[in-house]
Amino acid sequence: MTLTIDIAQTTGGSTISFPNAYLKFFKIESTNPTPITSSFSNGSVAFQFNGKGPVTIQFYVIPLEIGRTESEIYVNNDRFILKQFIFL
């Protein structure tokens, strides 16, 4: 499954954070492009990407549970709530 994040404008890179609540439902398999850094802090995994202007970042994730999920991610400190239904 692919999670695609389009960022309209950035001046010096982007940070995307996944709290543990998201990682309870999904395993992050890979990213495109490759982040310049990744870190774990305060119960979240954060990925830092280079880039200026519009940026598209893709995360390839594997669902770990079947059913309805509600979680959140942060893109440059802006919170986004994700509601999904996972089935096989």
Q: What structural domains and CATH numbers belong to the chain?
A: 2-86 (2.60.40)
* Residue 87 contacts residue 66 (beta carbons within 8 Å): yes
What does the alpha-carbon distance between residue 57 and residue 29 come to, in Å, rounded to a whole number? 14
pLDDT, one tens digit per residue, over 52-68 is 889 999 999 999 989 99
pLDDT, one tens digit per residue, over 24-59 is 999 999 999 999 999 999 899 999 999 888 999 999
